[in-house]
A and B are shown apart, each in its own frame.
Chain A
Amino acid sequence: MKEISQMNNPYHDEKVIDACSIFGVMDTSGRRFSGEGVIRAIANMHLRSNGLGGGFAIYGLYPEYAELYAFHIMYLSRQGKRQTEAFLKERFDLVCDEEIPTRPIPAIVAPPLLWRYFLEVGQHRPQGQSDDDYVVEQVMDINTKLQDAFVFSSGKDMGVFKGVGYPEEIADYFCLEKYQAYLWTAHGRFPTNTPGWWGGAHPFSILDWTVIHNGEISSYGINRRYLEQFGYHCTMQTDTEVVAYAVDLLMRKHGLPIEIVAKILAPSFWTDIERRPSGEQRLLRTLRQVYGSLLLNGPFTVIIAHQGEMIGLTDRIRLRPLTVGVRGDMLYLSSEESAIRLVCPDLERSWIPMGGEPIVGRLKQPLKSQSLVTAREKAQDAD
């Protein structure tokens, strides 16, 4: 895999700098729908990317294999594929595999081999380790130790599709209009210091967690050093990787809900904290004291997704754009409102959330029954 990671950052910059378009849509009732609208929406923000990376994360994708880990792997050589498949057979029960369907189009040049595998952990994992931790370990092993292979999707009932090209070209290449799912996120990339590499496109993912990101995190150096203490090694040198690991640490390992995580990644100012009632003040202050090194400082908007949940968040002074749209059970998040209006002209409501305020869509609490009441009220107050 060494070759590929070199390609991600050929000049050995501290990190890869890029800017982007992002779009996410979720049917909170769980109804699955085609990606055709998502592709049109992200294509509408064509100018926000430069053809050096596009990608999609799709949830509710493989209902027939919902209990199996679905690995999407890109290979640079047949040799890499043979080695990796031997590795997979040794570490997993391989239920089935196939080439990821693609259609050749002129815009996509020299694509890697793309294959997907449906895997069961079965009796392979050691006593006392969870299936998820076992899978993370295997993914890290393939990505850092094996030559010419890169796992870019590893969750259940979901998949990531990405590559070098404009997002609409990537969608075309992967025939994404044929898939049905209840949650889609999409990303178009504008890197400034890398020629673009298939694995370096967004979304970044581990298990069923995906992150798409627009921004540059100026606190990257300390965020990364903090995460290293917890065993996360940032091999890709992108800020997006830092966001993904921070979310994994806080939500999966420390068990904190997204409302709390938002207060860590994009905390209130100290003066605002001092104005809160005493209980809340103590909570917010403690979070900042303990997790100060995870404050993501500098401009960013992220859409984080995992099974059943989609979260939009900006930095605390909102230096990158995010617009929210709601219609019925549908929740839209986008860099630009125009992209939402294009696919859903009759929005019930749209607004720009406050910096650092998370927007959350959940399957368990569909918008119609539970609704984003507080968020909407806030938006109305702001009006």
Chain B
Amino acid sequence: MKTYLPAKFLIERDPERCIRCQVCVNQCTFDSHYYDAEDDEVRSYEESCVGCHRCVLFCPTKALTIRSNPLDYRDNYNWRPEVIEDIIRQAETGGVLLTGMGDDKGQRIYWDHLVLNASQVTNPSIDPLREPMELTTYLGQKPERVELHADLSLKTELAPQVRLEVPVMFAAMSYGAVSLNVHESLARAATEMGTLWNTGEGGLHPKLYKYGSNTIVQVASGRFGVHPEYLDVARVVEIKIGQGAKPGIGGHLPGEKVSLEVSMTRMIPQGTDALSPAPQHDIYSIEDLAQLVWALKEATNYTKPVSVKIAAVHNSAAIASGMVRAGADIIVLDGLRGSTGAAPKIIRDNVGIPIEMALASVDSRLRQEGIRNQTSIVVSGGIRNSGDVAKAIALGADAVYIGTAALIALGCTVCQQCHTGKCAWGICTTDLALTRRVNPDIGARRLANLLRGWSLELKDILGGMGVNALESLRGNRFHLRGVGLTDTELEILGVRMAGS
């Protein structure tokens, strides 16, 4: 069938600069460049280009420019080019449209409508370059009060706590979806920076057990790679109920990605599809979740917090309250913009609620019910910079997860081709020739640098507000103001309008 899909990008090659070295041909995993030996010229298949810019960055003579194909259809607000092309694609394939990364649509990004406060006159700002500034955060269940013996020694025993030096963790990305080199980069950066990384649902490669004390291991619906040692080496065990990119949807790692190493780590035969059921089939209700939470606590001898991750959906506040009562020491909310290695596009872009709203309502609800101290709240899904982190913490989060931002630090340009397994940057693939493109020495350094930069910025933000500890910003919505929001939005966020 002839495709009616036009090329998304134009590839311009400056003939004056091109030396026909074919680096672009070798770097492109989507076969957009080829060498014509007869004419001794490098040419392009523009319809294959995904706009990942790998070739542009690696062309030694900077001969390449990738531009959007203007595609000037007749203007139509309803039938936009993307809508038209999705229909064409489905007419030609008859299937569910798959995509990678997070929702790229124009729903309101509330972070951009929130602004932070600073001290002027009535209280002094604090200079983090000259005075201590504390970002240390402990995740885990806290009691309502501390009790002491008569001699003022401690009577209260705390549930297991996890210390973070920076309130930013690396989000769940499974081995199989991303490569072992990516896992190693994340694990080493988390260890260096005193934070945690998350294995995702594909198990933990034995090579990375040594980073266990900075590792969150996931127990998901497929139970891939879950065994006693996996639980034992971890710092936190996380039950994955859902994911912001595809709430209510399971996962499917195609057999061709299940290499020998992946098969060993996931504990499934090589080359077989790894299917994660949509629900956890032993959790059809809240009391079932409680059983799994306590089973995991029992299995780990009550030495580590158990976290529960859900996608942010309409009833998040009520669900979160149930999760806390079911014993979750940490609850993770993954918002509308949460990313994925592969998801049906229609689900990714239409299901779930913005993380800012979910966070605000969950934090408020848990406080109303007097159980906020019983859990830590972690949010994820579209956190882009330290400003977003500060706003999330002011809304009530204890810490955040970053996934996409971490991958961008490793080279990702958000071309949304993760589901193809052909990632030209070697991140979201198990093709051994490609995974070598991420060097864990360099990857770990880039990720640690990112966290270091954000830490410095967070300290500047805190100091400007006149506080020197992160817990004084946490849940402190008086340090936020809304810009361009309706009364209802402000009410849900618990934030006042700028100027009021």
Interface size class of B (residues with CB under 8 A): 35 or more
Chain A proximity of B488: nearest CB distance (Å): 19
In angstroms, Cα B391 to Cα A206, docked, is 35
Given A216-B122, A283-B153, A298-B467, A221-B367 contact (CB < 8 Å): no
Whether B153 contacts A279 by the Cβ 8 Å rule is yes
Map CB proximity to A onto B464-500 as digits: 1 under 8 Å, 0 otherwise: 0111110111111111000000000000000010001
Whether B154 contacts A286 by the Cβ 8 Å rule is yes
Chain A proximity of B107: nearest CB distance (Å): 28
Whether A282 contacts B474 by the Cβ 8 Å rule is no
Look across to chain B and name the residue whose beta carbon is closest to the beta carbon of A291: B146
Which residues of chain A are near B373, meaning CB under 8 Å? 229, 290
Look across to chain B and name the residue whose beta carbon is closest to the beta carbon of A254: B145
Complex partner residue of A222 from B123, B131, B472, CB under 8 angstroms: B472
Whether B124 contacts A295 by the Cβ 8 Å rule is no
Look across to chain B and name the residue whose beta carbon is closest to the beta carbon of A296: B472
Given A269-B134, A298-B466, A221-B479 contact (CB < 8 Å): yes
Whether B472 contacts A256 by the Cβ 8 Å rule is no
Complex partner residue of A293 from B156, B158, B471, B479, CB under 8 angstroms: B471
Whether B474 contacts A218 by the Cβ 8 Å rule is no
Whether B476 contacts A221 by the Cβ 8 Å rule is yes
Determine whether B269 belongs to the interface, using a CB cutoff of 8 Å to chain A. no
Which residues of chain A are near B126, meaning CB under 8 Å? 317
Q: With contacts A216-B466, A286-B146, A289-B142 known, what are 19 further pairs, Cβ within 8 A?
A: A14-B478, A220-B476, A220-B478, A221-B477, A221-B478, A229-B367, A229-B370, A254-B146, A279-B153, A282-B154, A283-B152, A286-B158, A289-B158, A290-B373, A293-B475, A295-B469, A295-B471, A297-B467, A297-B468
The chain B residues found within 8 Å of chain A, CB to CB, are: 119, 122-124, 126, 131-132, 134, 136, 138, 142-143, 145-146, 148, 152-154, 156, 158, 161, 367, 370, 372-373, 465-469, 471-479, 496, 500
Determine whether A259 belongs to the interface, using a CB cutoff of 8 Å to chain B. yes
Complex partner residue of A225 from B145, B156, B367, CB under 8 angstroms: B367
List 5 contacting pairs A-B, 8 Å CB cutoff, sorted by A: A17-B122, A221-B476, A286-B146, A288-B471, A316-B468
Chain A proximity of B136: nearest CB distance (Å): 5
In angstroms, Cα B182 to Cα A373, docked, is 59
User: How many residues on the A side are at the interface (Cβ–Cβ under 8 A)?
Assistant: 44
Complex partner residue of B472 from A12, A218, A319, CB under 8 angstroms: A218
In angstroms, Cα B465 to Cα A359, docked, is 28
Whether A269 contacts B367 by the Cβ 8 Å rule is no
Whether A299 contacts B475 by the Cβ 8 Å rule is no
Look across to chain B and name the residue whose beta carbon is closest to the beta carbon of A193: B122
Whether B472 contacts A297 by the Cβ 8 Å rule is yes
Look across to chain B and name the residue whose beta carbon is closest to the beta carbon of A315: B468
CB interface residues, A 219-245, toward B, < 8 Å: 219-222, 225-226, 228-230
Look across to chain A and name the residue whose beta carbon is closest to the beta carbon of B134: A270
Map CB proximity to B onto A250-292 as digits: 1 under 8 Å, 0 otherwise: 0000101101100000000111000000010011001111111
Chain A proximity of B472: nearest CB distance (Å): 4
Complex partner residue of B131 from A218, A225, A299, A317, CB under 8 angstroms: A317
Chain B proximity of A95: nearest CB distance (Å): 37
CB interface residues, A 188-216, toward B, < 8 Å: 192, 215-216
Whether B479 contacts A289 by the Cβ 8 Å rule is no
CB interface residues, A 19-51, toward B, < 8 Å: 19
Complex partner residue of B123 from A221, A288, A298, CB under 8 angstroms: A298
In angstroms, Cα B479 to Cα A114, docked, is 38
Look across to chain A and name the residue whose beta carbon is closest to the beta carbon of B132: A269
Chain A proximity of B120: nearest CB distance (Å): 11
Given A192-B122, A216-B123, A298-B123, A290-B471 contact (CB < 8 Å): no
Whether A225 contacts B475 by the Cβ 8 Å rule is yes
Which residues of chain A are near B467, meaning CB under 8 Å? 218-219, 297-298
Among A14, A257, A282, A286, residue most surrounded by chain B Cβ atoms (within 10 Å): A286
Among B131, B153, B367, B472, residue most surrounded by chain A Cβ atoms (within 10 Å): B472
In angstroms, Cα B469 to Cα A269, docked, is 9
Which residues of chain A are near B469, meaning CB under 8 Å? 292, 295, 297
Look across to chain A and name the residue whose beta carbon is closest to the beta carbon of B156: A286
In angstroms, Cα B148 to Cα A215, docked, is 30
In angstroms, Cα B132 to Cα A256, docked, is 28
Given A290-B142, A290-B143, A270-B123 contact (CB < 8 Å): no
In angstroms, Cα B470 to Cα A222, docked, is 11
Which residues of chain B are near A286, meaning CB under 8 Å? 146, 154, 156, 158
Q: Top 6 A-B pairs ranked by shortest CB distance?
A: A221-B478, A219-B472, A297-B472, A292-B471, A221-B476, A222-B476
In angstroms, Cα B466 to Cα A260, docked, is 24
Whether B146 contacts A299 by the Cβ 8 Å rule is no
Which residues of chain B are near A259, meaning CB under 8 Å? 152
Look across to chain B and name the residue whose beta carbon is closest to the beta carbon of A219: B472
